[in-house]
Chain A
């Protein structure tokens, strides 16, 4: 069971990194408004350049 002594701290470390990432998202304001972004994704993107006909050659 000696592997446990390496794997367990490693697992906790990875968990800790995930928590740190979560805290970063909260601090940077990504979770401040959870109502509007799900609606915003429904918008059509404005065409970036005029659509040109692809002529058949």
Chain B
């Protein structure tokens, strides 16, 4: 008999009315609106029921909806309110919430429409950049939990906003920088006008009294304004000096201080040059660069506490005969808790009664449900899918496995050492050379001419070599790269991340969701092809991953009746009067007559690492379907590209070691570099160990990868990642294509190349200006021309960078 791979015979797929993903056959209603999952259906009905259909007109991205349906009663708890809720004088209460999936205009509109839908809500203001909503309500008319339920129902799962202190500190910092930027900008504009008058006077002649007046005016504007605006540079320079570290701000501060001091002295004594206009431009440009970079780095971040929100805040404790709902804090080890179907297990513990299937994806990344029964150990944060359980708690809160994982993620993130930036290394040498040159100039000119000329030329040297372009080299190149990368769907968290990714080393890749599609699909079919229609009809209503794979594979107009699902094992139903069974081999075997050919196929598919599923019609097995998580089409090419760039690729997966090896073999990765069955702790340990030998990049998507990402030199989170993984990662890819990882790494290298080119260019300018100053032929006008010219050159060079450039 020949093996046939069945092609999916899909009609034009119907897009989900909410998220635009194709709707599986089983959920087609025949009407105009169909939804891909119950999540989307609930969210869409909540939106339309509240009269908020304008949402669909405003949005520019569509994403599958999440809605937990939780009650959020913990938000009304007095203990919570004491910490998070502020009461205003007019009797209203305010609280900040962190909202998931806040992406576009439509999301903002939807969330801010809450006052129309929840009576008693006064106002909801969204800050898109921070994914934060400030909610104001009337405590007499409604409760925070009602508003939270509304936000949840429309697909933005709310969490208490925990970054308030950090936000406040950052806001102070942002405002201070913006104030200085404004002051420097105004000073620059006015000083340039004054300078133009003075320069014109050089050529056209100018009364001495007028010139003195203009010089005094310049000084009175420049010294206070620039002295104030340049404080960030002075502060970093002094801090770096104290710590005996070299920093770019040191030569900048020397130049600025020398320029202001020397210029003021010259105004007072009524002779000598002033450089206030050039200095003002320098300070302004530096502050602009700082502000741009800061804005790129300030993105929504909520800290690892979010993970704890993944474990429930309440538990159902068994007290003798009764079951009482208590806050999670009231549970102590030894208590027995009752976990209903669909609930998340709140504690680490052992099952005392019940049998179920668990979704343990949070901890291990394993997408298939795990069967559990009495006597087995379960972890907090895993979801109960099938039957009610009684669990005796052994650990709660921070001592649970998920709690310890959070602690390790926080510890590893905090330990991430700042890398020594290329530009700071250069600045170190720069300071030495310039100070030495200034000293030599001073001594030589004093000996040759006079003390005055010596001081004049040495000061001019310090001022004109003030490395403006050097300071702009990195921010400009990084800003261009970050902007272009963001347009491609690659979000990079800052200059550091680019420098971390530029040197090749070891790259650990989590299998699920990166190398593979991350969901089961039909990859082989043995036996009767016509059985597909019958199987799909039976599986039409099921939410099991296997049912979804079968529905993706084929469509059918047939409808099954008398469907009985034996969770995690199989499903039975009647289609056109025929009894159809679809399920795992032992389950089907127990209900049908044995069949040697079928048994052979089962063994063959299992041998290849696929999950065999048997279809039986009227007690006779007719077909075996092989399911597996297929490898992405682009994975091989991307891995080859990375290997060519010098990266050593290793697979680090929580899946079965055999599966990891099979994926590795298909992608040309040697067996010893494919590590399967890795727990989150083991992943972090392996990453830490590999850092001894050089840079390590961790690519992943799950909570189970987050600790490893935090421990690596750089972490990359791919599309669909858990919030915590995105938080920890240095780079977040919006598309799941592994091609983008290769593009990111290439882009990082190209950006670093641009930075180097920028640094060389700016050094050339400094060398020229410095030589002129040493020779004693420098003039403020030359400085005023050289400085913008060098900055423009660096800008042009940055724009010409090939980093993240679309390939034509």
Chain A interface (Cβ < 8 Å from any Cβ of B): 1, 4-5, 8-9, 11-12, 15-16, 18-19, 22-23, 26-27, 29, 31-33, 35-36, 39-40, 42-44, 46
Contacts and interface: CB of A to CB of B under 8 A. Distances in A.
Contacts of A8: 213-214, 217
B207 interface: yes
Interface in B197-250: 207, 210, 213-214, 217, 221
Interface in B170-197: 171, 174-175, 178-179, 182-183, 186, 189-190
A26 B175 contact: yes
Contacts of A5: 213
The 6 closest A-B pairs by CB, nearest first: A39-B105, A22-B182, A35-B129, A36-B128, A35-B128, A19-B186
B186 A27 contact: no
B74 interface: no
B325 interface: no
Q: Range of interface residues on chain B?
A: 20 to 34
A19 B190 CA distance: 12
A36 B214 CA distance: 44
Contacts of A26: 175, 178-179, 182
Contact of A15 (B178, B189, B214): B189
A27 to B, nearest CB: 7
A42 B182 contact: no
A18 B190 CA distance: 12
A31 B116 contact: no
B183 A44 contact: no
B190 A15 contact: yes
Given A23-B182, A32-B171, 10 more contacts: A1-B210, A4-B213, A15-B189, A19-B183, A22-B186, A23-B183, A35-B127, A39-B104, A43-B109, A46-B116
Contacts of A44: 54
A40 B105 CA distance: 7
B126 interface: yes
Nearest to B105: A39
Contacts of B466: none
B413 to A, nearest CB: 25
Contacts of A40: 108-109, 112
B422 interface: no
A23 B179 contact: yes
Main secondary structure of the interface of B (DSSP, over half): helix
Nearest to A19: B186
B221 A1 contact: no
A19 to B, nearest CB: 5
B637 interface: no
A48 B126 CA distance: 23
Contacts of A18: 186
A22 B214 CA distance: 26
Contacts of A29: 171, 175
Contact of A31 (B129, B178, B221): B178
Contact of B128 (A12, A32, A39): A39
B230 to A, nearest CB: 16
A6 to B, nearest CB: 12
B58 interface: yes
A33 B127 contact: yes
Contact of A39 (B108, B174, B175, B221): B108
Nearest to A21: B182
Contacts of B128: 33, 35-36, 39
A22 B225 CA distance: 14
B207 A36 contact: no
A14 B182 CA distance: 15
A35 B127 CA distance: 8
Given A4-B210, A26-B178, A46-B116, A12 B217 contact: yes
Contact of B175 (A15, A27, A35, A43): A27
A50 to B, nearest CB: 15
Given A5-B213, A42-B58, A36 B127 contact: yes
A4 to B, nearest CB: 7
Contacts of A15: 186, 189-190
11 contacts: A1-B210, A5-B213, A12-B217, A15-B186, A15-B189, A22-B182, A23-B183, A29-B171, A35-B129, A40-B108, A40-B112
A26 B116 CA distance: 31
Given A26-B175, A33-B127, A36-B108, A12 B221 contact: yes
Contacts of A19: 182-183, 186
A29 B170 CA distance: 13
B116 A36 contact: no
Contacts of B105: 39, 42
A56 B183 CA distance: 59
